[in-house]
Amino acid sequence: MDLFISKFFNKIDKKGRVSLPSNFRNALPKTNRNEIILYKSIKSPSIEGCGVGRLKEIAKRINHLDFFSEDYDDFSTSIFSEIVTTNIDKEGRFLIPEDLKLYSGIKDEAAFFGQGHFFQIWEPKRGLKNIEASRKRLIQEKKSLRLMLTQQK
């Protein structure tokens, strides 16, 4: 399965490294298994992580915007200017840059949440609250994936 699924909580060691969950490592493209791309989420105080394929999809979608629009500038600047490429060591550990830890409020533990084609890294308590809020919105607004997909057509 090439999707980032489930949730994991991992401690950050004294050297500032954290382990990427093994099934997340397995979801990375075979050609770049030891590399992940990290950037600040533009929707929440979290870090988003992905492989090169997801990054190319984001670039493709941004390129569909009017090249001279503020939206184009805002999305491309907010995402691409702050991307950090980091390597995963043989034990599956990597460093979360200090500016990303500060942005997300991560200190000594990181929570990893699968999002399908990408994943999020949260301060654990904030991340769990986000999951609860997401589920609550879906239930309160009685949203179903089938209904949303049929409305897009």
pLDDT digits (tens, 9 = 90+) for 45-64: 999 999 988 999 999 999 99
Residue 141 has pLDDT above 90, yes or no: no
Is the model more confident about 147 or about 6? 6
pLDDT reported for residue 46: 98
For the entire predicted model, the pTM comes to 0.90
Average of pLDDT values for 118-128?
A: 98
What is the model's pLDDT at position 13?
95
Mean pLDDT of the chain: 92
Q: Give dist(CA 147, CA 50) in Å, integer.
A: 28
Per-residue confidence band for 139, with pLDDT thresholds at 50, 70 and 90: confident
Task: Name all domains of the chain by residue range, CATH numbers in brackets.
Answer: 7-124 (3.40.1550.20)
- The Cα 83–Cα 62 span in angstroms is 15
Q: What are the φ/ψ torsions at residue 109 (nearest 5 degrees)?
A: -145, 145
State pLDDT tens for residues 64-111: 999 999 999 999 999 999 999 999 999 999 999 999 999 999 999 999
